[in-house]
């Protein structure tokens, strides 16, 4: 049976950082809805153009297009053993749609790790974030600097700062998280899938704790 994990936490908690490490270790696909929107944006697809306005304002892209995009992604061959979902679901409607599609694919959400980071830390995390153009690898100028400034350690591609990481947009994204996404914590706690992880620890410590939960669920 395929294994699906849902990483929860506010913007800047470290979901992308951890998902990339864990997906590689577990041999699972990393499915990031934000990365999928950014890929569509740089390829100038219709979906990318539609998403742009919402992303620039720090708002959520409407559920119907987001759900269709993720559904399509989860049907690709690299997801046959399951996936590590990062940034999806973000609303109760997306969580319901995910459960419906996973039962169709013969799986369910076995663990939903919640990376808990207090709100005041997030702005500093996001204002120092640098992302790689080629594959969305994530760095921080202070907490996780690349070996060579401006270049990705993994693939050598250029590092850039996301437009939606400016302080004003970050504040809106945090508000949106609190209003629309935080209720999912209750949903996954009620299902017995939620595990809380202290996201203020250094990246390697968070990773170790996360792997304990994910590895146990997969074996």
Q: If contact means CB under 5 to 8 A according to the sort of partner, which of ligand AMP, ligand ADP, none does residue 92 touch?
A: none
Given CA atoms 83, 88, 92, 97 in this order, what sign does their dihedral have? negative
Q: Which is nearer to ligand AMP, 63 or 141 (CB)?
A: 63
CA–CA separation, 211 and 26 (whole Å): 9
Binding to ligand ADP (CB under 6 A) within 90-129 occurs at 125, 128-129
Binding mask 3-42 for ligand ADP (x = CB under 6 A): ------x-xxxxxxx-------------------------
Give first-to-last CA distance, the chain, whole Å.
Answer: 12
Measuring CA to CA, how many Å separate 137 from each of 10, 19, 35, 91, 144? 18, 10, 10, 25, 11
Residues 182, 80: contact at Cβ < 8 Å?
A: no
Residues near ligand AMP (CB under 6 A)? 11, 33-34, 37, 54-55, 58-61, 66, 87-88, 90, 94, 164, 173
What's the min distance (Å) between Cβ of 14 and ligand ADP?
Answer: 3
Q: Tokens at residue 84, please?
A: 């590590």
**Binding region for ligand ADP (CB under 6 A):** 9, 11-17, 125, 128-129, 138-140, 143-144, 199, 201-203, 206
Which residues form the catalytic set? 15, 90, 129, 162, 173
């Amino acid at each position: 049976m395929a294994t699906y994990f849902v990483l929860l936490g506010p913007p800047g908690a470290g979901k992308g950082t951890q998902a990339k490490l864990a997906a590689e270790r577990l041999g699972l696909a990393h499915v990031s809805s934000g990365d999928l929107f950014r890929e569509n944006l740089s390829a100038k697809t219709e979906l990318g153009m539609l998403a742009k306005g919402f992303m620039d304002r720090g708002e959520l892209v409407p559920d119907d297009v987001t759900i269709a995009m993720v559904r399509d992604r989860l049907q690709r061959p690299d997801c046959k053993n399951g996936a590590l979902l990062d940034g999806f679901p973000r609303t109760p409607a997306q969580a319901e749609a995910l459960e419906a599609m996973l039962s169709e694919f013969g799986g369910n959400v076995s663990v939903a790790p919640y990376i808990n980071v207090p709100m005041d830390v997030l702005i500093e995390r996001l204002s120092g974030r640098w992302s790689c153009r080629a594959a969305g690898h994530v760095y921080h100028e202070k907490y996780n600097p690349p070996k060579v400034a401006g270049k990705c350690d993994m693939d050598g591609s250029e590092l850039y700062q996301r437009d939606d990481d400016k302080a004003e947009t970050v504040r809106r994204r945090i508000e949106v998280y609190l209003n629309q996404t935080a209720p999912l914590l209750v949903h996954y706690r009620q299902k017995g899938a939620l595990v809380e992880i202290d996201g203020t620890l250094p990246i390697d410590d968070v990773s170790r704790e996360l792997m304990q939960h994910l590895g146990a669920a997969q074996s």
